[in-house]
Amino acid sequence: MDEEIAWAVDRARFQQQTPVQVQIMNPRRNARGTITTITHQHATTELALLYRDISIKAARSVETGIIEVQQNVLRERQKILTIPLLRYTSKGTEGLQKI
């Protein structure tokens, strides 16, 4: 049923010609009954919430108990790079000045 809700929301957004990257994925229902999803990697939750009314109407067409659509966690993509410490501490590397 949760996937049907995600499909209904994505179909409604497509029909309203929202940006392609505004889609939801991986719907899951937790123990309290809350359905959680994630947005596409090229979209933010804020962008998805611009189409909140479309989402609620589509979700309620599948399950009438839907109350609200809201942002749960604010996350930004992070990239963590590792650099060997030896590169900056070995003999002749000028230590941390090189950074």
pLDDT tens per residue across span 6-31: 889 889 989 999 888 888 888 888 88
Domain boundaries, the chain: 2-85+91-98
Q: Which of 6, 1, 13, 4 is nearest to 52 (CA)?
A: 13
| Average predicted confidence (pLDDT) for the chain | 77
How many Cβ atoms from other residues are within 10 Å of residue 10's Cβ? 18
Residue 91, judged by CB atoms within 10 A of its CB (0-12, 13-18, 19+), counts as: exposed
Polymer length of the chain: 99
**86 or 3: which carries more pLDDT confidence?**
3
Q: How many CA atoms lie within 13 A of 64 on its CB side?
A: 0
Distance in angstroms (rounded) separating the CA atoms of residues 51 and 10: 11
* Lowest pLDDT segment from 1-5, 74-78, 86-90, 93-97: 74-78
Instruction: List the structure tokens of 87.
Output: 């590169």
Q: pLDDT digits over 75-93, tens only?
A: 555 445 555 666 666 666 6
